[in-house]
């Protein structure tokens, strides 16, 4: 099998896995909000496709899920399965976080790969990778009335940026594309996993007393 075909199949498979993982995280959020089946599908699709849609629009390329009906059907199926099965998960927030971590790691690199493939500069590829990985989850949380993960102090967007940056760096160094893809995804997921397990977070702003203007008496 030619290397280009093998890489294409790998990326397509990872896109399906990432979409399923994000759809599951969206559906689990819908279960916590006690939505109906339509709400489950809507939130799952928003989570799975939100970041990729923004990426494709910014790159001026066809929106992937609109040209891949099977992908949309798979996301809807995941949502409906969890509509009937989510109650079996006693602590739904925990699997939500891990499903989201898997989707984030996959899409951080897939977004950066798509950007590089379209001729974007390295810094733009990293940025688009982070957008692909986080925007769908941000939309999910906003629609459901929660503070988006990307705005919380825990390490999330940083992990996506590191995964995308690792992939871009390895690609520029001439590493085999499939190796760069896997290494970037692993890096993003491990950083996010460590943050979840060890409670890592970035420092937050500490409130300080305001200062008077010099001309005030």
The predicted-structure confidence for 174-210, as pLDDT tens digits, reads as follows: 999 899 999 999 999 999 999 999 988 888 888 776 6
CB-CB contact of 168 with 181 (8 Å): no
Cα(159)–Cα(157) distance, rounded to whole angstroms? 5
Q: What is the mean pLDDT of the segment spanning 40-67?
A: 95
Structure confidence at residue 145 (pLDDT)? 94
Cα(55)–Cα(20) distance, rounded to whole angstroms? 18
- The overall pTM is greater than 0.85: yes
Helices 122-143 and 157-172: crossing angle in degrees, nearest 10, is 160
Q: What is the mean pLDDT of the segment spanning 39-58?
A: 96
Listed residue (129, 142, 212) closest to 171, CA to CA:
129
CB-CB contact of 136 with 22 (8 Å): yes
């Amino acid at each position: 099998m030619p290397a280009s075909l093998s890489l294409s199949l790998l990326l397509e498979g990872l896109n399906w896995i990432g979409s399923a993982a994000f759809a599951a995280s969206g559906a689990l959020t819908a279960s916590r909000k006690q939505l109906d089946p339509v709400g489950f599908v809507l939130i799952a699709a928003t989570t799975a496709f939100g970041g990729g849609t923004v990426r494709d629009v910014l790159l001026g390329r066809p929106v992937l899920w609109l040209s891949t009906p099977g992908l949309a059907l798979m996301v809807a199926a995941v949502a409906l399965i969890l509509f009937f099965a989510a109650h079996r998960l006693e602590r739904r927030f925990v699997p939500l976080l891990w499903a989201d971590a898997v989707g984030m790691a996959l899409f951080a690199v897939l977004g950066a790969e798509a950007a590089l493939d379209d001729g974007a500069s390295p810094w733009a590829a990293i940025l688009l990778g982070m957008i692909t990985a986080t925007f769908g989850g941000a939309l999910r949380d906003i629609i459901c009335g929660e503070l988006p993960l990307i705005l919380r102090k825990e390490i999330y967007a940083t992990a996506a940026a590191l995964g995308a940056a690792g992939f871009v760096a390895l690609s520029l160094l001439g590493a085999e594309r499939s190796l760069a893809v896997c290494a970037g995804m692993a890096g993003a997921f491990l950083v996010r996993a460590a943050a979840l397990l060890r409670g890592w977070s970035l420092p937050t702003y500490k409130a300080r007393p305001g200062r008077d203007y010099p001309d005030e008496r």
